């Protein structure tokens, strides 16, 4: 007998958990703060609380993201983080025979895929079964697409460290490509542009704020906001106005790399499916999807219709939720016991 059924989306920047019959029960930053003493490690905060410490912690406290570029880069830290959240969700009680449905990217190695399953099987989840849903499938379901139909769809999930571009038909993946570009890379590009051109070092959170307020896929009317950072020549804290054309210049190359990858996948899409995509257009999901004008730029460069999905940051977890709740979709989740890994 299985107790609760959970869906889990482990992103580079956020961790989300859905509970059957309840809904979204966890939506936090996927980050952990660990205090290191000579012979011990102690978790001092996880999630949003740890995020507040990011960029401010003293040397003995490391604040890190255990998922990087869409894969689990630090299994031990991810384990600690998940266990803290599971404990919180169950108010400290031991978990009873759960089932987990995990969304896993397609274009990664078998070793990387297995790490997602090992993470849950070794956690305090007491999972009787761990099921796997291909991330682009969960994403498409969450975007409201009828993935089991013979209609072909293109879904582009632009997250924090990655963009996953996939073509889907008959409940399966026809082609999928995971590239290391996403919102974090836009933030880094803004940071390095300001450092190179103005000798000003700004923090990660400041760069993200600048992006959210000023980033656009087309040159826009000049808007500016004040930012605070450290001048690398004088070493002193200073204030500077950053404007939208600086932000556009820093990210434009990355945006075109995403577009080149979309074109690469379109060139490799079977013609029958390509004609479906002409009808339905490209579906943009992921937290970075709302970037101003991104849909227009992709539309202009590909000549296709582009749809930005509502609640784009939650399409994967919403899709997992639907797969868990709707019997007609349950075949999209495959038990990890039936998956053969070759590496
Ligand atoms: N309004 C916005 N405009 C542009 N970017 C945004 C906006 N809101 C959030 N973002 C960006 O979305 C990103 C987070 O997206 P998401 O939650 O899909 O990532 P993730 O699933 O954790 O990462 P990944 O899929 O790469 O592993 C962050 O880089 C954040 O700055
Ligand atoms: Mg994601």
Note the pLDDT of residue 38.
82
Which ligand 1 atom lies nearest to the CA of residue 312?
18
Measured in Å, residue 181 CA sits from the centre of ligand 1 at: 11
Crossing angle for the helix pair 244-267 and 294-302, to the nearest 10 degrees:
40
pTM here is 0.96
The ligand that comes nearest to the alpha carbon of residue 12 is 1
Nearest CA to ligand 1 atom 20: 11
Spacing, Cα 159 to ligand 1 middle (Å): 5
Q: Determine the distance separating the centroid of ligand 1 and the alpha carbon of 143, expressed in angstroms.
A: 16
Ligand 1 atom closest to the Cα of residue 211 is: 4
pLDDT tens over the chain, length 343 residues: 668 999 999 999 999 999 999 999 999 999 999 998 888 889 999 999 999 999 889 999 999 999 999 999 999 999 999 999 999 998 878 788 899 999 999 999 999 999 999 999 999 998 999 999 999 999 999 999 999 999 999 999 999 999 999 999 999 999 999 999 999 999 999 999 999 999 999 999 999 999 999 999 999 878 999 999 999 999 999 999 999 999 999 999 999 999 999 999 999 999 999 999 999 999 999 999 999 999 999 999 999 999 999 999 999 999 999 999 999 999 999 999 988 877 6
CA distance 143 to 312: 8
pLDDT of residue 23: 97
| Cβ(290) – ligand 1 distance below 6 Å | yes
> From the CB of 159, is ligand 1 less than 6 Å away?
yes
Question: Tell me, what's the pLDDT at 53?
Answer: 94
CATH number of 5-30+65-138+316-338: 3.30.420.40
Best residue among 251, 254, 288 to mutate for probing ligand 1's pocket (most ligand atoms within 8 Å of CB) is 288
**Where do you find CATH 3.30.420.40 in the chain?**
5-30+65-138+316-338, 145-308
CB of 312 closer than 6 angstroms to any ligand 1 atom: no
How far is it between the farthest Cα atoms of the chain? 66
CB pairs under 8 A, 24+ apart, for 72-79? 72/10, 72/112, 72/115, 72/116, 72/119, 75/115, 75/118, 75/119, 77/32, 77/34, 78/10, 78/119, 79/119, 79/122, 79/123
Q: Verify whether ligand 1 is closer than 6 Å to residue 142 (CB atom).
A: no
- Measure 33 CA to ligand 1 centroid, in angstroms: 21
| Nearest ligand, measured from the Cα of 208 | 1
* Ligand 1 atom, smallest distance to 184 CA: 29
Q: Where are the beta strands (DSSP E) in 11-49?
A: 14-19, 23-29, 32-36, 41-46
At 1 the pLDDT is 60
What angle is formed at CA 305 by the lines to CA 270 and CA 133, rounded to 5 degrees?
60
> CATH number for the 145-308 domain, one of 3.40.50.720, 3.30.70.1380, 3.30.420.40, 3.40.50.11810?
3.30.420.40
Q: Which pLDDT does position 2 carry in this prediction? A: 66
Asked whether 216 lines ligand 1 (CB < 6 A), one says no
Q: Report CA(287)–ligand 2 centroid distance (Å).
A: 8
pLDDT at 17: 98
Going from the Cα of 314 to the center of ligand 2, the distance in angstroms, rounded, reads 9
């Amino acid at each position: 007998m299985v107790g609760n059924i959970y869906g889990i989306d482990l992103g580079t920047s956020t961790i989300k958990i859905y509970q059957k019959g309840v809904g979204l029960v966890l939506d936090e930053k996927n980050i952990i703060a660990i205090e290191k003493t000579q012979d011990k490690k102690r978790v001092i905060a996880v999630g949003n609380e740890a995020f507040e410490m990011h960029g401010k912690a003293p040397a003995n406290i490391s604040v890190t993201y255990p998922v990087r570029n869409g894969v689990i880069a630090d299994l031990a830290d991810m384990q600690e983080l998940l266990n803290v959240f599971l404990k919180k969700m169950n108010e400290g009680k031991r978990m009873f025979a759960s089932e987990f449905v995990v969304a896993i990217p397609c274009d990664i190695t078998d070793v990387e895929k297995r790490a997602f399953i090992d993470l849950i099987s070794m956690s305090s989840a007491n999972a009787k079964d761990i099921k796997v849903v291909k991330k682009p499938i969960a994403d498409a379901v969450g975007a409201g697409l009828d993935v089991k139909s013979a209609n072909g769809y293109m879904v582009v999930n632009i997250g924090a460290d990655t963009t996953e571009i996939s073509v889907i038909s008959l409940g399966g993946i026809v082609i999928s490509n995971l590239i290391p570009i996403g919102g974090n890379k836009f933030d880094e590009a803004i940071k390095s542009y300001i450092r190179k051109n103005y000798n000003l070092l700004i923090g990660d959170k400041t760069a993200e704020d600048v992006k959210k307020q000023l980033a656009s896929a087309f040159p826009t009317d000049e808007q500016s906001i004040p930012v605070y950072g450290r001048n690398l020549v004088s070493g002193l804290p200073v204030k500077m106005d950053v404007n939208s054309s600086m932000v556009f210049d820093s990210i434009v190359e990355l945006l075109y790399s995403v577009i080149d990858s979309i074109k690469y996948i379109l060139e490799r899409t079977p013609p029958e499916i390509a004609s479906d995509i002409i009808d339905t257009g490209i579906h943009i999901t992921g937290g970075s999807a709302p970037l101003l004008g991104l849909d227009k730029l992709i539309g202009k460069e590909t000549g296709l219709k582009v749809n930005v999905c509502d609640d784009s940051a939650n399409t994967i977890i919403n899709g997992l939720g639907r797969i868990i709740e709707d019997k007609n979709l349950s075949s999209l989740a495959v038990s990890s016991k039936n998956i053969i890994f070759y590496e």
